[in-house]
Amino acid sequence: MRVTAERYLSLQEVGDELGVSDQTVRRWVKSGELAAYKPGKEYRIRGSALEEFLASREVHPKVEAPPRDPKAQKRREFLEHIKTLEGAALQALSDEIDEEYMRVRPEWERAKETRSPEFVELSTQLEDVSARGMMVRLQMRIAANPDARYTSGDTSRRASVDAQEERAQDERKQLALAGVA
């Protein structure tokens, strides 16, 4: 028999150290999760056994799962990019996306009518262009009215903001016409 100078802890000491009750520690011992000795009436736990127990219960961050939609990461990156743009740059990007849409849409319609094998590919491309266009237009609205809050479920708020924008556009048009006349 080998006797070591290692420190042995009571259930209460382990519980106090870990912030749990002595009953929880007793349950760990009885289930075999935590190694302990019972030289008399009380359990004793080696310091090294406690360290092994804690190491086995150490939580590691989960690895980020790949996006379910393979295009999701690409869209997130595009969204982060457009958040850095302002005014004229956003408008130029919006115009570029509109041009791409106008180029792809007729090709998609032809492929749809002729049941061409390119239809699926063009559908995906059209969906991507549309999504990018919506993101840019929304970012333009946010830039124009940074105090507004846009949430997917708040349709009344969106309708109110849309109405405000339409009134502002009408006022600008009237001022432009008055300046011309």
For residue range 101-157, list pLDDT tens digits in order: 888 888 888 888 888 888 888 888 888 888 888 888 888 887 777 666 655 555 555
**What letter represents residue 74's amino acid?**
K
Q: Is residue 45 domain-shared with residue 86, that is, in the same domain?
A: no
Q: Is residue 74 domain-shared with residue 138, that is, in the same domain?
A: yes
Residue 100 is part of which domain span? Answer: 69-149
Mean pLDDT of 74-100: 84
175 within domain boundaries:
no
Q: Is residue 123 domain-shared with residue 52, that is, in the same domain?
A: no
Residues whose CB falls within 8 Å of the CB of residue 144, separated by 6 or more in sequence, listed in order: 165
Helix (H) or strand (E) holding 171: helix 155-180
Whole-number Å distance between alpha carbons of 75 and 69:
10
pTM value? 0.44
Mean pLDDT of the chain: 80
Report CA Rg, the chain. 33
13 within domain boundaries:
yes
Q: How many domains does the chain have?
A: 2
Mean pLDDT of 89-106: 87
The closest alpha carbon to 11, from 24, 39, 3, belongs to 24
pLDDT in tens, 164-175: 767 777 777 777
Whole-number Å distance between alpha carbons of 28 and 10:
13
Torsion region of 147: left, alpha or beta (phi above 0 gives left; psi -120 to 50 gives alpha) = alpha
83-87, 93-97, 107-111: lowest mean pLDDT where?
83-87
